[in-house]
Amino acid sequence: MKTNPKEFEKLRKLLALKRHELPPPGYFNGFSDNVIDRLQTEWETHSGIWQQVLMLFRSRPAISWSFSVAAVFVLFAATNAFDGPPSGQSETTSSLADAGNSPATASMMFSTNFSPTSFANARIMLEPIAGPGTNPEPRLDSLFSTPFYHQVQPARFQP
Amino acid sequence: MSTSATARLGQAALTIEPASANEEISPREEDRKWVQLAKEGDLGAYDELIKRYQERIYSTLYHMTSNHEDANDLAQEAFIKAFKALKSFKGDSSFYTWVYRIAVNQTINFLKQRRNRHHMSLNDADWNVENDPDLVSLISHKTPQREANLSELQEKLNEALQKLSEVHRMVVVLHDVQGVPHEEISEIMNCNVGTVRSRLFYARQQLQAILSDYLK
């Protein structure tokens, strides 16, 4: 079929009339808002709380800065609170501290030459801790009251 | 963007300024910056991109569907789909071409499903068309347009377009209605320029046959 280019020109002019078909006035004013609203709604429905918080921080740097400053302040306050002297100590902690003050126990705790003999010494050194005012009954050795037994892990034993 | 949306997104002061007064940012470069921000989740930046291309995308989809509601839904869907796929956008083509491709593919799929449903809304036509010099020249001779009123002419045009296959209609709409060059159409439709030209030629032949009474 042979086509006359001039006729195509007429056709193009006719088709160009379609450019006058426009949407209702003001339609484009709210178009992007609709898309953004739909994106936000969809995102809020499907994303987790952490993703939302992360997105909030990304979109609003002021909030992320405020949060960072607050976090540093809380951390600093918490560190100061734990640096002060403890108000009360448990018996075990006290015993351990007392035991640590004894030269024999200290040498036991920091010695790398652990042997069954030093193990026995350590047990003997514990007895003075139960001083006057404490329970007169003989104390049974307990794994829980002698935590310093675990302090040294010897690599060699003497036969 | 509306005031509420600006407040909601907190992007009121977000603008892209050139590094110096003399330096001008090309639209493509500007797009790239908005895209980068949008990729990081900045909806304000994506709002700018939507505003930049909403009219062109909507118009193409409207001429493809001949229906305002369908075009509106498809255009919104295209922008939403594009935002979700933004991470995969490498920047090899322009954002405009990329989002156009999403809209075109989505519309072609939609039209294939909608084949049997056919209705048009021509109430929204801009009535300044009567003063268009092309129309005046077309109806100044002895043609059936003289008798036909404007609505009928537009209806006839839309009917003729709807008789084309989706890909042929897309090429005609992009080139003859929207004025998009062949090379850009080939990028949008992911085919070579030769295919675009041959599709355009075939589509015009078909339209010419359908609208022969109006082209004498």
In B, which residues are within 8 Å of A7 by CB distance?
A: 208, 215
pLDDT of residue B191: 94
The angle formed by the CA atoms of residues B6, B55 and B184, to the nearest 5 degrees, is 120
A57 contacts: CB under 8 Å, gap ≥ 6:
A63, A64, A67
DSSP letter at B2? -
Of the pLDDT bands very low, low, confident and very high (cuts 50, 70, 90), residue B104 is very high
For A:16-55, CB contacts with B below 8 A are 16-24, 27-28, 30-40, 42, 55
**pLDDT at residue B161 above 60?**
yes
**Identity of the highest mean pLDDT range in A97-111, B96-110, B129-143:** B96-110
**pLDDT at residue B192 above 80?**
yes
**CA pair distance A114, A96, nearest whole angstrom:** 19
B180-210 as b/e, with b when 16 or more CB fall inside 10 Å?
Answer: bebebbbbbbeeeeebbeebbebbbbbbbeb
pLDDT of residue B212: 86
Min Cα separation A153/chain B (Å): 52
B42, B50, B215 ranked by CB distance to A32: nearest: B50
Q: Where in chain B is the domain with CATH 1.10.1740.10?
A: 27-121
DSSP letter at A85? P
CB contact under 8 A, B215 and A11: yes
Question: What one-letter code names the amino acid at B167?
Answer: V
Q: What is the mean pLDDT of chain A?
A: 67
Min Cα separation B119/chain A (Å): 16
DSSP letter at A21? B
DSSP letter at A17? G
pLDDT of residue B136: 55
In B, which residues are within 8 Å of A61 by CB distance?
A: none
Q: Cα–chain-centroid distance for residue A122?
A: 39
**pLDDT at residue B140 above 80?**
no
**CA pair distance A45, A72, nearest whole angstrom:** 32
* C-beta neighbour count of A11 within 10 angstroms: 23
A24-35 as b/e, with b when 16 or more CB fall inside 10 Å?
Answer: eeeeeeebbbeb
pTM higher than 0.90 for the full model? Answer: no
- Over residues B113-128, the mean pLDDT reads 54
- Domain coordinates in residue numbering, chain A: 90-129
- Over residues B84-94, the mean pLDDT reads 89
What does the block give as tokens for B173? 């709409």
pLDDT of residue B156: 87
In A, which residues are within 8 Å of B44 by CB distance?
A: 59
3-state secondary structure of B17: coil
3-state secondary structure of B125: strand
**How many A×B Cβ pairs under 8 Å?**
126
Of the pLDDT bands very low, low, confident and very high (cuts 50, 70, 90), residue B122 is very low
- What's the Cα-to-Cα distance from B179 to each of A69, B173, B175, rounded to whole Å? 55, 8, 5
A59-89 as b/e, with b when 16 or more CB fall inside 10 Å?
Answer: beeeeeeeeeeeeeeeeeeeeeeeeeeeeee
Closest CA to B205 of B174, B166, B160, B167: B160
User: How many residues can be counted in chain A?
Assistant: 159
Residue of B nearest to A16 (CA): B177
Closest CA to A104 of A120, A122, A116, A127: A122
pLDDT of residue A36: 93
Q: Which residue has the higher pLDDT, A93 or A53?
A: A53
Number of helices (H) and strands (E) in chain B: give both, helices first. Answer: 10, 0
Number of helices (H) and strands (E) in chain A: give both, helices first. Answer: 7, 0
**pLDDT at residue B72 above 90?**
yes
What does the block give as tokens for A113? 């030459």
In A, which residues are within 8 Å of B138 by CB distance?
A: 10, 13-14
Helix pair angle (B27-39, B95-113), 10° resolution: 70
Q: Which CATH class is domain B27-121?
A: mainly alpha
- Over residues B32-59, the mean pLDDT reads 92
Of the pLDDT bands very low, low, confident and very high (cuts 50, 70, 90), residue B14 is very low
Topology of domain B132-216 in CATH is Arc Repressor Mutant, subunit A (1.10.10)
**CA pair distance B90, B25, nearest whole angstrom:** 20
Min Cα separation B162/chain A (Å): 13
pLDDT of residue B15: 47
- Over residues B29-46, the mean pLDDT reads 90
**pLDDT at residue A140 above 70?**
no
- Over residues B206-216, the mean pLDDT reads 86
**pLDDT at residue B198 above 80?**
yes
In A, which residues are within 8 Å of B72 by CB distance?
A: 23, 27, 31
Residue of B nearest to A6 (CA): B215
pLDDT of residue B199: 95
CB contact under 8 A, B43 and A59: yes
pLDDT of residue A126: 45
pLDDT of residue B181: 94
Q: Cα–chain-centroid distance for residue A143?
A: 33
Q: Where in chain B is the domain with CATH 1.10.10.10?
A: 132-216
Of the pLDDT bands very low, low, confident and very high (cuts 50, 70, 90), residue A106 is very low
